[in-house]
């Protein structure tokens, strides 16, 4: 066996996705020497198989849908999408699955990249086996950050492995449009990919185990999205469970067998049934942790019981979204620097050493048609927390900007108010074009802006932002703005 070459750095980062990149950036900006280990592409899941390719696939679908609701334009956009052009556009945004640009950025900030499989090897140590069998042993003077993310979780079903199912990776990187696509799941990936591939020409059947789509959001969100998918031609079936998958020889059509024996045939099947951490083979056992587990952390992203090991992004299971992982990375980077400089983490500009947004102020946009967006607590979550709350609902057709945005506009908004503090603790929107409304809601929730101050944040007329005025009026008047 080749003897490992030893190196020492201030900080060693496992994983060069967006989360790892942000930890590296903060450490290098403070002058700490930093190494990052990556076994796949620098840029990670979001850049090549998640956020960027999925949104590149979805944008043409949503733009066409919006245009079809605009008088004077609708007749011009009744034809099908140019699938070849959409897929080429997707390929451009993932740099054809090449990472030279991301590697160049790491070089530009002076971070050292080690290609290969990295594993913890005891306290403050990481071993790396490179693609040619070369071995390195990296020692961190101050911190090791695990930023290895998550991967799709597949259920244990008869026949599934041999059926070559799509996961989120195949769904965002396929170079062919299947005639028939069966989607198993009811969450964000399932809803977004059903939207994209239906628009590209697939006949989509969506199989949802629960009673509706997007169950982590307010119930009306899933209803709007399911209705729109059905109108677009997809079949949405709820309260169904898959018992087995059959695909002879791993080629040709795939048959999904439901509990009860019903069979549904497709050309591809996508399982969007959750995520699991990429921690099964990163040496957790060498530091007393369980391989394959989520890693609990404090608000500085320090792993419980450690003074040097950080877990940032999906691996800590706090909020499995890229923007939240990058937020955590900025916090972790600031905390690592402060501890390395002997300053502790009790003080810091902008409250930089404590991640609090991923407790009760997580913003999320679901890029379906219609879009869905939420931040903070749903009504049910707020009630379970013991707060004394009131929800105010708004039919978005009552907003002047909605009718101008699209003929026959349909959408809904809900604001959840803490009655004791009279601050907004949660906001949810569903409707065309509402994703850009979310940051105003996020500021209201994170800033704990009193309702009587929000009255003086005047929305421009006629825009969708006027939803805020209607929600506040309904709260004042004690009723819903229906």
Give the 3-state secondary structure of the chain: CCCCEEEEEEEEEECCCHHHHHHHHHHHHCCCCEEEEECCCCCHHHHHHCHHHHHHHHHHHHHHHHHCCCCCCHHHHCCCCCHHHHHHHHHHHCHHHCCHHHHHHHHHCCCEEEECEEEECCCCEEEEECCCCCEEEEEEEEEEEECCCEEECCCCCCCCHHHCCECHHHHHHCCCCCCEEEEECCCHHHHHHHHHHHHHCCEEEEECCCCCCCCCCCHHHHHHHHHHHHHHCCEEECCCCEEEEECHHHCCCEEEEECCCCEEEECEEEECCCEEECCCCCCHHHHCCCCCCCCCECCCCEECCCCCEEECHHHHCCCCCHHHHHHHHHHHHHHHHHHHCCCCCCCCHHHCCCCCHHHHCCCEEECCCCEEEEEECCHHHHHHCCCCEEEEEEEHHHCHHHHHHCCCCCCEEEEEEECCCCEEEEEEEEECCCHHHHHHHHHHHHCCCEHHHHCCCCCCCCCHHHHHHHHHHHHHHCCCEC
The string of pLDDT tens digits covering residues 29-60 is: 999 999 999 999 999 999 999 999 999 999 99
Banded model confidence at residue 479, pLDDT cuts 50, 70, 90: low
Q: Which domains does the chain have, with CATH numbers?
A: 5-43+99-151+277-357 (3.50.50.60), 161-273 (3.50.50.60), 370-477 (3.30.390.30)
Banded model confidence at residue 347, pLDDT cuts 50, 70, 90: very low
pLDDT of residue 5: 92
The pTM of the full predicted model, rounded to 2 decimals, is 0.95
**C-alpha–C-alpha distance, residues 379 and 387, integer Å:** 10
The string of pLDDT tens digits covering residues 383-426 is: 999 999 999 999 999 999 999 999 999 999 999 999 999 999 99
- Model confidence at 449: pLDDT above 90: yes
- Model confidence at 232: pLDDT above 70: yes
Kind of pairing between the strands at 34-38 and 112-115: parallel
The string of pLDDT tens digits covering residues 57-111 is: 999 999 999 999 999 999 999 999 999 999 999 999 999 999 999 999 999 999 9
pLDDT of residue 261: 96
**C-alpha–C-alpha distance, residues 7 and 139, integer Å:** 6
- Model confidence at 291: pLDDT above 90: yes
pLDDT of residue 1: 61
**C-alpha–C-alpha distance, residues 468 and 79, integer Å:** 36
Which residues are CB-neighbours of 261 under 8 A, at least 6 positions away?
none
Closest CA to 39 of 278, 274, 275, 277: 278
Q: Report the Cα–Cα distance between both ends of the chain, in Å, rounded.
A: 72
List the structure tokens of 348.
């810091």
pLDDT of residue 462: 96
**C-alpha–C-alpha distance, residues 378 and 390, integer Å:** 11
* CB 189, CB 168: distance < 8 Å: yes
Kind of pairing between the strands at 135-146 and 5-14: parallel
- Model confidence at 355: pLDDT above 90: no
Closest CA to 323 of 17, 11, 12: 17
Q: Which residues make beta-bridge pairs with 412?
A: 395, 430
**C-alpha–C-alpha distance, residues 130 and 138, integer Å:** 13
pLDDT of residue 348: 47
**C-alpha–C-alpha distance, residues 470 and 189, integer Å:** 32
């Amino acid at each position: 066996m080749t003897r490992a070459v030893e190196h020492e750095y201030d900080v060693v980062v496992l994983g060069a996705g967006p989360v790892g990149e942000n930890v590296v950036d903060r450490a290098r900006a403070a002058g700490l020497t930093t190494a990052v280990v990556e076994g796949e592409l620098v840029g990670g899941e979001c850049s090549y198989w998640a956020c960027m390719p999925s949104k590149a696939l979805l944008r043409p679908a949503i733009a066409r849908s919006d245009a079809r609701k605009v008088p004077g334009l609708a007749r011009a956009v009744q034809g099908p999408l140019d699938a070849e052009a959409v897929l080429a556009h997707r390929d451009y945004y993932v740099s054809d699955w090449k990472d030279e640009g991301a590697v160049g950025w790491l070089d530009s900030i002076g971070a050292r990249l080690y290609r290969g499989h990295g594993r913890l090897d005891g306290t403050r140590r990481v071993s790396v086996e490179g693609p040619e069998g070369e071995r390195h042993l990296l020692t961190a003077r101050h911190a090791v950050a695990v930023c290895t993310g998550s991967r799709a979780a597949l259920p244990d079903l008869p026949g599934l492995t041999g059926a070559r199912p799509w996961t989120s990776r195949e769904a965002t990187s396929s170079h062919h449009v299947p005639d028939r696509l069966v989607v198993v799941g009811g969450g964000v990936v399932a809803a977004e990919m059903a939207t994209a591939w239906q628009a590209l020409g697939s006949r989509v059947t969506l199989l949802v185990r629960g009673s509706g789509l997007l169950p982590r959001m307010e119930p009306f969100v899933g209803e709007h999205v399911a209705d729109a998918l059905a109108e677009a031609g997809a079949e949405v079936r709820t309260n169904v469970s898959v018992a087995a998958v059959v695909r002879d020889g791993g080629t040709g059509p795939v048959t999904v067998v439901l509990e009860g024996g019903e069979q549904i045939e497709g050309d591809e099947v996508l399982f969007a049934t959750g995520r699991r951490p990429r921690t099964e083979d990163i040496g957790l056992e060498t530091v007393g942790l369980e391989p394959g587990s989520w890693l609990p952390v404090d608000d500085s992203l320090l792993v419980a019981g450690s003074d040097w090991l950080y877990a940032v992004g999906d691996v800590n299971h706090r909020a499995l979204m890229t923007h939240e992982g990058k937020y955590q990375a900025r916090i972790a980077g600031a905390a690592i620097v402060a501890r390395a400089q002997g300053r502790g983490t009790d003080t810091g500009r902008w409250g930089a050493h404590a991640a609090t947004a991923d407790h009760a102020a997580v913003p999320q946009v679901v890029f379906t048609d219609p879009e869905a967006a939420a931040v903070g607590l749903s009504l049910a979550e707020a009630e379970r927390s013991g707060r004394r709350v009131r929800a105010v609902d708004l039919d978005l057709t009552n907003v002047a900007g909605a009718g101008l945005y699209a003929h026959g506009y349909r959408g809904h908004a809900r604001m959840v108010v803490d009655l004791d503090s009279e601050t907004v603790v949660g906001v949810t929107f569903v409707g065309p074009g509402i994703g850009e409304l979310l940051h105003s809601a996020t500021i209201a929730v994170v800033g704990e802006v009193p309702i009587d101050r929000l009255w003086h944040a005047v929305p421009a007329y006629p825009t969708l932002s006027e939803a805020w005025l209607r929600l506040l009026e309904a709260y004042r008047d004690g009723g819903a703005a229906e």
